[in-house]
Chain A
Amino acid sequence: MTDAPVLVTQGLDKSFGSLVVASDISLSLPKGARYALIGPNGAGKTTLINLITGMLTPDAGRIVLGGEDVTEIGPADRVKRGLVRTFQINTLFPNLTPLEAVMLAVCERRGEAGTWWRSLPSYGAAAEEAYGILQTLRLAEFCDRPTRQLAYGQQRLLEIALGLAAKPKVLLLDEPAAGVPKSESGELFEAVAGISSEITILFIEHDMDVVFRFASRIIVMVAGRILVEGTPAEIATHPEVREVYLGAHHG
């Protein structure tokens, strides 16, 4: 069954002066994929996400989303077309409640966030949808407290909630469990696992157990380049990968 790929990058390059952070990055994600992006620190993984989402402008290359070339389109418009990312470091709204934050994302998606003449409670459908998302991520009971009062793990879940609120076609998760202790990350990955198979996911992760459990395919990046790409079994036994990453990765 060959579906057209949902997200394609072709030859993405980016340098800051003499520092090359991305070199000839080409990848192709089919619909419903669960791809993992791994690599040592500084390999350029977050930079790649920044390039794909438009927060950084590539020096060369193209990005194609659902058949449409989005290389020249700004970040907010890419989100409107279904290309959504979460942040490795919590990038939330400290004084808004989770309900307000997710509702804001929902209203933005529905094009309702620009109306200033109608009161927020009158947007029942958006409120219900926002609450529903919070429920699926088990955040509903905290929906009314300011975000800064939430525990760190809950904030990471809220990161994902904001991503889901935009009804993504492609979701780029930047280390969703960053900073979350192993004992709690299970709940977080259950939430990720529960995401609809209609959505294509690319996630950056350092925990190999998680990677091998959830990913159908693994992309390995080193020093701005893609070293190799393959199934978990292939990557686990790949000699270069072991040397560069798994071997050098001491706990």
Chain B
Amino acid sequence: MSEPAPRSVDPQGLLRQQVRWRLLETVFWLAVLIPFFATPTYLVLCSQIAIAALFALSLDLIVGYSGLVSLGHAVFFGFGAYTAGLLSAKLGWNEPITGLLAAGFASMLLGLLTSIIVVRISHFALIMVTLGLCLLMFELANQAHDLTGGDDGLQGISISPVLGYFNFDLYGYTAFGYSLAVLFICFLIIRRVINSPFGLSLRGIRENPRRMPAIGSPMRGRLRTVYVMSATFAGIAGGLLAQTTEFVALDALSFQRSAEVLVMLVLGGAGRLYGGLVGAIIFMVARDQLAGLNPQYWYFWLGLLLVLVIIFLPNGILGGIAHLVSRVRAKK
């Protein structure tokens, strides 16, 4: 049955359409440079946002693209933070870039270990195990206060200039530039992963895990790989935190932080590449403004935000926008 059908569609072209770099993306990445010129007093906050964005992006790999749930992703963030912090504070290794790579590597190993457990379970047990691992690490860090400083946090971190030249200044120029550069590089890598056949198989797992073995896919192996990737990037984000603030608090490993990054991701829209970034920006800016007004009520607004987003915008802000756009297009 091989009748050459008239070809008006080029399948490769269709695929290229989906993965090509869009103008809006260029606009976004140029726009994030604005704070350097427009709001130099907020650069410290901006570097925090960049770090949160990377953290959210790492979570998106497993939550948005693979369909897993993790209530304890901060375990990798905190592990990376403490690794980078300890390298400097205890071992006197102050070079930032290698320190960051070490943080990522350490989290990668932790991810490797935990992935073996995590990919075997699903549903409620998965929620509990990811939560449990995070709480476990938190307790460990809490107890080991000789090493980690416990409740007081890890101090004595002092980071050398980036590339030997960019000193970490008080205003945060270097911190923001450094964080932004790392975010961008990691973003490019993650973008490639998502647009690869591997990324497609992740989405397959998310869409229908039952079908995957039926097309010959080694689901567990794929999930282990993406879990390790996700842990690595979360660890790098944590390392950035340690290096740019020269301090690591216990809360880097806390459930609160795991919940927060989940909120950021869902707010922006999981499974949409830029969802974590957008969510991080909105969340951190909102928190900075609202918590300044009245810290107690922050929990209320946070809770309300969560409830409203889940009910009315289940695909996050980017999802809501995409929906609007497609409805407008359908009308034309």
Contacts and interface: CB of A to CB of B under 8 A. Distances in A.
A114 B198 contact: yes
B196 A118 contact: yes
B19 A119 contact: yes
Contacts of A94: 207-208
B11 A99 contact: yes
A100 B211 CA distance: 14
Interface stretch (B214-222, B242-250, B274-282): B214-222
A53 B11 contact: no
Interface string B207-243: 1101111111111011001000100000000000000
Contacts of B9: 131, 140-141, 143-144
Q: Name the interface size band of chain A.
A: 35 or more
A77 B225 CA distance: 19
B27 interface: no
B128 interface: no
Interface in B178-197: 192-193, 195-197
Interface residues of B, number: 37
A206 interface: no
Given A96-B203, A104-B204, A116-B192, A121 B16 contact: yes
Contacts, number: 140
B233 to A, nearest CB: 13
A10 interface: no
Interface in B14-31: 14-16, 18-19
Given A76-B219, A79-B215, A135-B5, A91 B197 contact: no
Interface stretch (A57-65, A105-113, A211-219): A105-113
B158 interface: no
Interface string A200-227: 0000000000000000000000000000
A144 B198 contact: no
Contacts of B229: 116
Interface in A45-94: 53, 55, 74-77, 79-80, 84-85, 87, 91-94
Contact of A113 (B192, B198, B213, B214): B198
B217 A76 contact: yes
B199 interface: yes
Nearest to A124: B12
A91 B211 contact: yes
Given A85-B214, A93-B211, A120-B196, 9 more contacts: A79-B215, A94-B208, A96-B207, A108-B201, A116-B192, A120-B19, A127-B12, A143-B11, A162-B214
14 contacts: A76-B216, A76-B219, A79-B213, A93-B204, A96-B204, A103-B15, A104-B201, A108-B217, A109-B216, A116-B199, A117-B196, A120-B195, A120-B197, A140-B9
